[in-house]
Structure 1
Amino acid sequence: MPEGKIVKALSGFYYVLHDGQIIQCRGRGVFRKNKITPLVGDEVVFQAENDREGYIMEVRERKNELVRPPIANVDQAILVFSAVEPSFSTVLLDRFLVLVEYNHIKPLICITKMDLTNEDEKQAIIKYANQYRDIGYEVLITSSETEAGIDGLNPHIENKISVFAGQSGVGKSSLLNVLRPDLDLKTNKISTHLGRGKHTTRHVELISIGNGLIADTPGFSSLEFTSIEAEELAFCFPEIARESESCKFRACLHISEPKCAVKAAVESQGITHYRYQHYVDFLQEIKDRKPRY
């Protein structure tokens, strides 16, 4: 039986890409019985009824999956954040980075709307970008309006499944429109009352750009750390994970333990204070989480 990749899921139908053709498929009842839901990004085996329709018979093993947005086998997350309108937020970026790191997905930070910044705002963004680069993250600084820096995205997209993620209104659809103008994706201006954009994307779909596939998604509707345990959080902060190897105690949570190498690195500015503070806040959030039964 033929194999393909689900590139869109909508109203109970799964659109499978096979040899350049899209086959509209339904899932067999066995999936519901076994509580398996096919996801966009899944590699599947299907049975073709004709040139355009078929049934999904098997979902291949996934290397990862996200719940919100529902997508599987993601190679990288392009975290899109605006410099202004809405203002750049390190705490929100770090929430995204923790979730992406926890799911073993490579992040790429893309800061947009640089054309709207004044000189002070521009310098602040450059400083933040360099701090995240020092941690080891790739950071691109772009503008959809002037198309500055957009070319830097292309090498990262090639031969990968990428998910665009970020709060609404930061310019994800605008970036996609520059990368592939024929898409003409709907964009919305920022609400001046709420300071954020309206959702313009309603379903998950993989869009072909060059030799890569990009998921334009409704965004992460949940940024809660529902699955991460307290002992796992440090490994979602690469610089904290590196320093923690020198802690006196193996189970150190880097809060009040003696001879903690992480706290020493914060004191010596080897770890930025705001990143450590986000770690502390997230850890408390995880500890305060109500147990699930």
Structure 2
Amino acid sequence: MSWLTDSDDEDAWSEYDETDARVRPNPKGNKPRSKLRPEHTDAIPGRVFSVDRGRYGVWVDEGGAEERQIVATRARELGRKAIVTGDYVDLVGDTTGSEGSLARIVRIQPRTTLLRRSADDTDAVERVIVANADQMLIVVAAANPEPRPRLVDRYLVAAYDAGIHPILVITKTDLADPAEFLGNFAGLDLTIVTSGSDAVPIDELIELLDGHTTVAVGHSGVGKSTLVNALVPDANRAIGRVNDVTGRGRHTSSSTISYRLGNGWIVDTPGVRSFGLGHVDPASILASFTDLAGLAEDCPRGCTHLPGTPDCAIILGVQAGELGEAGRQRLDSFQRLIATLGS
């Protein structure tokens, strides 16, 4: 039959038969797509301990009779959501852990904390470093390479933003006295551990780390991987040296991986020379200074709390002695940290 035109009589439509319509064949025989996804009720839980080019190392049945490590890939239904070291996940497929087996990660459980950084301070796109950590081990060398207070400030900002407790470890104290450097952080409630080039305070660190998930961060060459190897002898993390000309360390750890330490975990990360904070909200930092946050309730709207800010209740309260002798140091530390976001 021929197609009807505007001049055709409407009664002619009655001659149309649906069988005249041509149906395009599906040569591949593919089934129609469905938005329905399997519930994976048989999935088992695990914890990601390493990430390497699309393959994820996962501990299954931690502490149980069938504790084992398996290798997994990501399921398509996860989309682009990142899977990172420290994530608790659900797995299906071959979860035996036998050689050559491969499971699939089908779900990521809700995260308690997220340590993040951006490429630089103008980039709001965040890079997740580790999930579910509750402590940050900030490793700094007293010398060779020289300590960088501003980089430590950035680690502290990221820790406070994530709700992670920071611990400051000063290595190579036999080469230089760290007292002047530590003066930058006098107003903070920091746990501080010192270590020489050849003597690591193992017992002190294990006591601090046991029962926690601790992420270790630090500038290249400060001795972070040496510290991890001392705590976990089987880690065998690569150790580099500091360039005699530039004074900079060479990147040796190229991946983020977690190791069991007593009843806890220590997560070693690659050394970095910058730590972008483009994703951080200053209010997250203030929340970590609970004493200052109490004063801030009387601040005017939009108060930056920086020096010279008119009618800042924090500044006025500290000047009036409301927080005692430590108040000024606390305020100085807080102002330096929030100023880091704009520098």
Normalising by structure 2, we get a TM-score of: 0.71
Shift of 1:182: 3.2
Distance 1:8 1:127, change over 3 A: same
Contact kept, 8 Å, 2:89 with 2:108, in 1: the verdict is yes
Paired letter, 1:191: N
Shift of 1:59: 1.1
Q: In structure 2, what is the equivalent of residue 290 of structure 1? A: none
Q: Which stretch shows the higher mean deviation, 225-234 or 136-145?
A: 225-234
Give the percent of matched residue pairs that are identical in Structure 1 and Structure 2: 27
Matches within 5 A, 1:140-179: 140-147=193-200, 149-179=201-231
Structure 1 residue 271 corresponds to structure 2 residue 296: no
Q: In structure 1, what is the equivalent of residue 135 of structure 2? A: 76
Q: Which runs of 5+ in 2 are unaligned?
A: 1-42, 62-66, 117-126
Quick one: distance in 2 between partners of 1:236 and 1:282? 16
Normalising by structure 1, we get a TM-score of: 0.82
Structure 1 residue 137 corresponds to structure 2 residue 190: yes
SS at match of 2:328: coil
Residues matched between the structures, number:
275
Q: Which has the higher helix share?
A: 1
Distance 1:4 1:277, change over 3 A: closer
Q: Which runs of 5+ in 1 are unaligned?
A: 286-293
Quick one: distance in 2 between partners of 1:141 and 1:72? 27
Distance 1:141 1:244, change over 3 A: farther
Q: Which stretch shows the higher mean deviation, 43-52 or 214-223?
A: 214-223
Q: In structure 2, what is the equivalent of residue 26 of structure 1? A: 73
Quick one: distance in 2 between partners of 1:267 and 1:198? 48
SS at match of 2:234: helix
Structure 1 residue 88 corresponds to structure 2 residue 88: no
Shift of 1:230: 4.8
Q: In structure 1, what is the equivalent of residue 50 of structure 2? A: 8
SS at match of 2:107: strand
Q: In structure 2, what is the equivalent of residue 57 of structure 1? A: 106
Contact kept, 8 Å, 1:231 with 1:251, in 2: the verdict is no
Paired letter, 1:46: L
Quick one: distance in 1 between partners of 2:182 and 2:283? 32
Matches within 5 A, 1:99-138: 99-117=158-176, 121-125=177-181, 127=183, 131=186, 135-138=188-191
CA-to-partner distance for each residue in 1:36-73, whole Å, 9 max, x for gaps? 22211111111142522311121111112234463211
Largest Rg, 1 or 2: 2
CA-to-partner distance for each residue in 1:100-139, whole Å, 9 max, x for gaps? 101111111111111222xxx244356557x25xx21211
Quick one: distance in 1 between partners of 2:266 and 2:218? 14
RMSD: 2.7
